[in-house]
Amino acid sequence: MRGMWRGPILAIASLPALTGAQTATAPGGATDPVIVTARPLPPRRETLRWFATISGYPDSDRPLSRLTEPLCIASSGLPATLAMPIADRMLGHAERLGIKLGGEKCRPNVLILFVDHGPAHIAWLIDHRPGMFGELAYADVRALAKDKGPVHAWHMTALTSRDGDPLIAMPGELPTLHIPSASRINLPVKSHIAAAVVMIERDAVMGRTVEQIADYATMRALAVVRPRQASGVSTILTLFEGDAAPGALTAFDWGYLRGLYAGQGNRAPALQYAAMARFVEDEINGGDKTP
């Protein structure tokens, strides 16, 4: 399997597109045209509001985070007959986005964990494996611990120069970053997703399809999002909020991800959101997905 690591996880216990007008035959052989039109695009400002709802308002001097290293997935808590198709579908999505994939013995940077009672596992990690949270702010870790929902997900990110140079920390000095030049349009830095963890309670996946679970995990792993606030838009991020969730990634989801992973990755958030909105509109115009 592409980029799939099969070892154990030790840190955790236990309207189609419009192609033309159609006609209907009326009594007597006359034909009356039936005009089929696509669902109208949402206003651009509405799309941007949805972005802010699920992604927040990042600092203007820090670009949106995205995965830059080859994707390598490890999974635990489900039988291989389920875990492997989930991971393989996620890898297929990543390939479509232009993300490189790790090899057979790659080092995992995305963990998809299925557990019984997520808050208890978060509490255990805080006490016994705090390194699993990287440099996540203490307030964010505590918020994870207090979240009673069926999904707990977080990312470990790193800031580099636009050319990929890391922070340099000299003894007794503040960390510095070599910036070759400045620009009014693009930022001199990039934000990389070094690792992502998506922890889902096993009871919550009952009645869900492999495609739904894989697509939900794709959104949670490849983008820093807050799905429980995704009201007013059709997105796979609502998978665990009720029975009316989409069956797969929607036009909004694909547009969001395509826009996020387009370009050099160092645009200011406002400009990145504007580009992502155009991708969403492109996906909706393409049909076959729910706007």
Q: In which domain, by residue range, is 254 found?
A: 4-10+43-168+184-286
Tell me the average pLDDT across 122-128. Answer: 94
Region 269-282 average pLDDT: 90
Give a three-class secondary structure readout of the chain: CCCEECCCCCCCCCCCCCCCCEEEECCCCCEEEECCCCCCCCCHHHHHHHHHHHHCCCCCCCCCCECCCCECEEEECCCHHHHHHHHHHHHHHHHHCCCCECCCCCCCCEEEEEECCHHHHHHHHHHHCHHHHCCCCHHHHHHHHHCCCCEEEEEEEEEEECCCCECECCCCCCCECCCCCCCCCECCEEEEEEEEEEEEEHHHHCCCCHHHHHHHHHHHHHCCCCHHHCCCCCCHHHCCCCCCCCCCCCHHHHHHHHHHCCCCCCECHHHHHHHHHHHHHHHHHHCCCCC
- The answer to whether position 16 is within a domain reads no
Residue 247's nearest CA partner among 99, 89, 113 is 89
How much is the average pLDDT of 269-291? 80
Instruction: Determine the pLDDT at residue 52.
Output: 80
Cα gap 254→264, rounded to integer Å: 18
pLDDT at 108: 95
Asked whether residue 259 is domain-assigned, the answer is: yes
Mean pLDDT score of the chain, rounded to an integer? Answer: 80
Q: Please state the domain count of the chain.
A: 1
Mean pLDDT of 242-249: 86
Say which residue, 132 or 180, is predicted with more confidence.
132
List of residues 6+ apart from 37 with CB closer than 8 A? 18
Q: What is the pLDDT of residues 17-58, one digit of tens each?
A: 323 334 344 445 555 565 545 556 667 888 888 888 888 777
What is the structure's pLDDT at 242?
74
Q: What are phi and psi of 193, to 5 degrees?
A: -85, 105
Identify whether 27 is part of a domain. no
Whether residue 25 lies inside any domain: the answer is no
- pLDDT tens digit sequence for 223-241: 999 765 556 678 999 999 8
Residue 7: pLDDT band (50, 70, 90) is very low
Token pair in block for residue 27: 């009594």
Question: What pLDDT, on the 0 to 100 scale, is given for residue 70?
Answer: 95
Is residue 23 domain-resident? no
Q: For residue 173, is it within any domain?
A: no
Percent of the chain predicted with pLDDT > 70: 73
CA distance 143 to 269: 24
Predicted confidence (pLDDT) at residue 103 exceeds the cutoff of 80: yes
Would 104 be classed as within a structural domain? yes
Q: pLDDT tens-digit profile of 144-187?
A: 999 989 999 999 998 876 656 555 555 655 555 556 565 666 77
- Per the domain annotation, does 32 fall within a domain? no
Percentage, residues of the chain above pLDDT 90: 47
What pLDDT, on the 0 to 100 scale, is given for residue 39? 55
CA angle 240, 234, 111 (to 5 degrees): 45
pLDDT at 72: 97
Q: Output the pLDDT for position 237.
A: 92
Cα–Cα distance, 153 to 199 (Å, whole number): 6
What is the reported pLDDT for 266? 81
Which pLDDT band, with edges at 50, 70 and 90, does 11 fall under?
A: very low
